[in-house]
Amino acid sequence: MSTSREHFSSKIGFILAAAGSAVGIGNLVGFPVAATKNGGGAFLLIYAFFVAFICLPIMLAEMGLGRRTQHSPYSAYAELGQNTKRWRIAGWLATITPFMIAVFYMVITVWIFGYLFQTLAGNLDAIAQPTYFGEFVNDYSFIAYLVAVTVIINFILVGGVRKGIERASKILMPTLFLMLILLVIFVLTLDNAMAGVKFYLIPDFSKITGSVINGALAQAFFSLSLGMGILITYGSYFRRNDDIVNSGKLVAITDTAVAFTAGLMTLPAIFAIYPETNPESLSDSSVSMIFSFFPQIFMQLSNTVGYGFASVAASVFFLLAFVAAITSLVSIIEVPTSSFMEKRNVSRSKALLVMGIAITILTLLAATSFGLLPWVSNVVTYAGIDKSLFDIIVDVFYDTILPLNGLLICLFVRYRWKRENFTAELSKGNSNYPNTFLHKYVNFAIGTFIPVILAIVFINTVAAKFFGVALL
Ligand code: PHE
């Protein structure tokens, strides 16, 4: 099947699709809570600094590599890396990482779908019970929700780049923005909401430690969908004369703006309902915030606005989270799917079938990691902690390999592709790029301190996660 490669029909199509990938569950809860716990405005400043000065150059490198080669990560690295083993490994890592992260993200998306279903069915009171989540994750109803989510994702992906990914993003992203704004307006009108805004925005530099800085970088990196081969793949669907540089900037700005705005929903909601909350006591885990804490907040809210209205607000919240998660999942599953299509010369629907089966099986295994199946619930012990299959996927791929993939693309641009060729690619569609400060900065940073910082993050994570040694 050697049809010519499909492309996004417009720059805005690409931007919405890439922003759809970037805006995910991390933006809605993980980012606002991390900011509030770790110095409020001070964290926001550091985060914005990382987005602009570390993440944007990597983003441009990924998009540039994709567009230059018109291939998905594996073949992109193989082609420009002249098929040397070292770069084939980088390409392989950029293909397997999204596959594994898709599994862990799929588990969470399926849970969100389950909660959405329950709130729509009028069961807010049930999901707000403290014991509900523990029972829910060990319930076989998971399978029904998994089937539904798989059908939705396949429905989008089988349409291909324009009729699938681009079209879905054009509908879903504006819907997401609208729901977010409606929720922010609603939450800000509650009594006491301003206490949350204060904790979120007032800077406290005394909270900034090495591990907070590391956390901010990891959050920014994940939030922009870097290191997962996604922007290489989407870059390969970008037309030759489209402007990568400005599109990349717009994607970064959109993602950061959504994360920031979500803080104006998440924190005020918490403090309006529980004014006595100590920010330090908020959970680091987005999972426990979304599935345990938030249902309780909505249930408490029914004392003020009534059960019906609180249920509607909860449904909008879970729908928002679901839309954010689906557009991210679509982008991440597209990476192994398109690699498979390319490598095996098979049709999109065949590739999707194979990926769908593989991801479903692994998702089922990962989802049974919470006690249902003992052998996946406790696979190994490292750094003194028993780990389930789900934990291993998060530790290895999300925490450890993501920054490694970022490091590899920097080294690739510096030593193999060469920075002048990278610049030439970014200049297509933006002929003024070589004269800009951004160009000088990107070429300098990507060849010097960005890989050093990522190497430090990588070593620190390996030491902390697998050996229990805190370096930073
Ligand atoms: N950027 C997403 C988020 O913030 C992360 C992600 C992207 C996860 C793509 C999976 C796939 O949640």
Q: What is the DSSP string of 22-54?
A: HSSHIIIIIHHHHHHHTTTHHHHHHHHHHIIII
- CA 340-323-318 angle, 5° bins: 135
Instruction: For residues 8-27, give the mean pLDDT.
Output: 96
Position 339, amino acid: S
Ligand 1 contact via 149 beta carbon (within 6 Å): no
Per the domain annotation, does 5 fall within a domain? no
* Alpha-carbon gap, residue 424 to 420, rounded angstroms: 6
Three-class secondary structure of residue 373 per DSSP: coil
Of 26, 8, 22, the closest CA to residue 328 belongs to 22
* Centroid of ligand 1 to alpha carbon of 203 (angstroms): 27
Ligand 1 contact via 222 beta carbon (within 6 Å): yes
Specify whether the CB–CB gap between 193 and 268 falls below 8 A.
yes
Domain with residue 347: its CATH number is: 1.20.1740
Instruction: Give CA separation, 270 vs 123, 320, 377, in Å.
Output: 21, 17, 32
Residue bearing tokens 């985060």? 47
Instruction: For residues 292-312, give the mean pLDDT.
Output: 94
Q: How crowded is residue 96: how many other Cβ atoms within 10 Å of its Cβ?
A: 18
* Pairs from 427-433 (Cβ < 8 Å, separation ≥ 24): 428/67, 428/240, 428/241, 428/244, 429/240, 429/241, 429/242, 429/243, 429/244, 429/245, 430/243, 430/244, 430/245, 430/246, 433/245
Q: How crowded is residue 469: how many other Cβ atoms within 10 Å of its Cβ?
A: 11
Position 414, amino acid: R
* Alpha-carbon gap, residue 328 to 23, rounded angstroms: 7
Per the domain annotation, does 368 fall within a domain? yes
For residues 1 and 170, which has the higher predicted lDDT (pLDDT)? 170
To which H or E segment does residue 385 belong? strand 385-387
* Centroid of ligand 1 to alpha carbon of 434 (angstroms): 31
Percent of the chain with pLDDT over 90: 88
Q: Tell me what pLDDT residue 383 has.
A: 87
Instruction: Give CA separation, 371 vs 138, 139, 366, 368, 390, in Å.
Output: 7, 11, 11, 7, 11
Instruction: Give CA separation, 26 vs 218, 260, 312, in Å.
Output: 11, 11, 23
- Least confident stretch, 2-11, 101-110, 429-438: 2-11
Position 176, amino acid: L
Per the domain annotation, does 442 fall within a domain? yes
Ligand 1 contact via 27 beta carbon (within 6 Å): yes
Per the domain annotation, does 472 fall within a domain? no
Percent of the chain with pLDDT over 70: 99
Q: How crowded is residue 404: how many other Cβ atoms within 10 Å of its Cβ?
A: 19
Terminal Cα-to-Cα distance of the chain (whole angstroms):
50
For residues 368 and 93, which has the higher predicted lDDT (pLDDT)? 93
Q: Tell me what pLDDT residue 1 has.
A: 41
Flag whether pLDDT at 18 surpasses 60.
Answer: yes
* Centroid of ligand 1 to alpha carbon of 358 (angstroms): 20
Domain count, the chain: 1
* Alpha-carbon gap, residue 299 to 267, rounded angstroms: 16
Ligand 1 contact via 219 beta carbon (within 6 Å): no
pLDDT band of residue 369 (cuts 50, 70, 90) is confident
Q: What is the DSSP string of 397-466?
A: IIIIIHHHHHHHHHHIIIIII-HHHHHHHHHTT-TTGGGSHHHHHHHHHHHTHHHHHHHHHHHHHHHHHH
Q: What is the pLDDT of residues 412-443, one digit of tens each?
A: 999 999 999 999 999 999 999 999 999 999 99
Per the domain annotation, does 175 fall within a domain? yes
Ligand 1 closest atom vs CA 105: 10
Distant-in-sequence, close-in-space partners of 439: CB < 8 Å, separation ≥ 6: 423, 426, 433
* Centroid of ligand 1 to alpha carbon of 297 (angstroms): 25
Specify whether the CB–CB gap between 296 and 128 falls below 8 A.
yes
Per the domain annotation, does 184 fall within a domain? yes
The distance of Cα 169 from the centroid of its chain, to the nearest Å, equals 15
Look at the alpha carbons of 237, 110, 394, 298 in this order and tell me if their dihedral is positive or negative. positive
Specify whether the CB–CB gap between 472 and 210 falls below 8 A.
yes
Domain membership of residue 94 as a residue range: 11-467
Write down the mean pLDDT value for the chain.
94
Q: Tell me what pLDDT residue 3 has.
A: 53
Kindly report the pTM of this predicted structure.
0.95
- Token output for 116: 């959405």
Per the domain annotation, does 3 fall within a domain? no
* Centroid of ligand 1 to alpha carbon of 221 (angstroms): 10
* Alpha-carbon gap, residue 175 to 156, rounded angstroms: 16
Instruction: For residues 360-388, give the mean pLDDT.
Output: 87
pLDDT band of residue 374 (cuts 50, 70, 90) is confident
Per the domain annotation, does 6 fall within a domain? no
Ligand 1 contact via 24 beta carbon (within 6 Å): yes
